[in-house]
Structure 1
Amino acid sequence: MAHPVMFDSADPYLDRLRAICLALPGTDEKVSHGRPSFFTRKVFAIYGGVLKGDHDPEPYRQALLVLPEETERPALLQDERFVVPGYLGPHGWLMLDLRNPRGAEGVDWDEVVELVDTSYRLTAPAGLVRSLGHPTRPGRPGPL
């Protein structure tokens, strides 16, 4: 049985996220379990998620699921915008709720770029990661 589509293709949050993800080398997008997923050989970002035990798609319809560095996970969880998603949470993934009063314009897209970049680097084949160079982080030069 196919999953129902759980996103609006004209969603401005998704438009921005799509541009960020598809700019990375060797990436593609597919709909999996009703949600847009971005991948190389493995998925590195998903748009929309649920909490464990709660399958209501609405509360986190406009959220980003990523795999952060293990050492950064505890600090991210101190931020109320991040939660542990159902299914992928036990594997280290976190979910960032993108919704805010200012809509897509209120999102810190630089933060999203950094989160996506980290998740990509942790999941993509080594050759693709090497083609990126070093990540840009505060105090560290280099392309993202």
Structure 2
Amino acid sequence: MAHPPRFTDDDPYLARLREVCLALPEATEKTSHGHPVFHTKKVFAVFGGVVKGDHASDRYAQSVLFLPDQLEHEALLQDERFFVPGYYGPAGWLGLDFRTAEPDWDEVGELVESSYRNTASTRLVRALDEAR
């Protein structure tokens, strides 16, 4: 059975996140488990998340899930805007809640790019570096 959508396509946060994610080499979007997912061969960003034990809540519906560098993981968790998402959290992923404070889109871009670099192939990372 397909998961029901957990987003609206006209969400302004999603629109801005799409611009950030789809600007990366060979990035595409699909819907998986009711959420927009950005990927190359592997997922590097997800719009919307949940926390363990609270799967029905829309508390983090307007957030981005990403895979940070390991060295930044604990420091990011000291900031109230970040959370450990269900499903992705055990693999080191974090979420940035867009509702906590107006997003700094430069910061979002850096976090998404870092996640992309942590998941993309060497060829795609090289293409990103050449484009910068």
Give the TM-score of the pair, scaled to structure 2.
Answer: 0.96
RMSD (Å), alpha carbons: 1.4
The equivalent residue for 2:9 is 9
Bigger drift between 70-79 and 49-58 goes to 49-58
Aligned-residue identity in percent: 60
Of 107, 113, 117, 1:117 maps to 113
| Cross-structure match for 2:53 | 53
> Is the 2:63–2:99 Cα contact (8 Å) retained in structure 1?
yes
SS for the counterpart of 2:14 is helix
In 2, the alpha carbon distance for the partners of 1:46 and 1:87 equals: 12
CA contact (8 A) 1:49 1:57 kept: no
Shift of 1:100: 4.3
Work out which of the two has the higher radius of gyration on C-alpha atoms and give 1 or 2: 1
Deviations 1:86-127 (A, max 9, x none): 0110100001101146xxxx3100000000000000001110
Aligned partner of 2:94 in structure 1 is: 94
Counterpart Cα distance in 1 of 2:126 and 2:62? 31
Q: Structure 1: how far apart are the matches of 2:3 and 2:36?
A: 12
Classify 1:6/1:119 alpha carbon distance in 2 versus 1 (closer, same or farther; 3 Å): same
Residue 133 of structure 1: how far off its partner (Å): 1.3
Measured in 1, the distance between the counterparts of 2:100 and 2:115 equals 23
Preserved CA contact (<8 Å) 1:28 1:38:
yes
Instruction: Provide the rounded CA distance (Å) in 1 between the counterparts of 2:60 and 2:86.
Output: 11
Q: Which runs of 5+ in 1 are unaligned?
A: 135-141
Contact 1:6 1:57 in 2 (8 A): no
Q: Residue 98 of structure 2 aligns to which amino acid in structure 1?
A: L
Task: Tell me the equivalent position of 2:26.
Answer: 26
| Aligned counterparts of 2:27 and 2:129: Cα–Cα separation in 1 | 16
Aligned to 2:63: 63
Question: Could you list the runs of 4 or more consecutive aligned residues of structure 1 that deviate by over 2 angstroms after TM superposition?
Answer: none
Aligned equivalents of 1:5, 1:80: Cα separation in 2? 27
Q: Hey, what does 1:137 align to over in structure 2? A: none
Aligned length: 132
**SS of match in other structure, 1:116:** helix
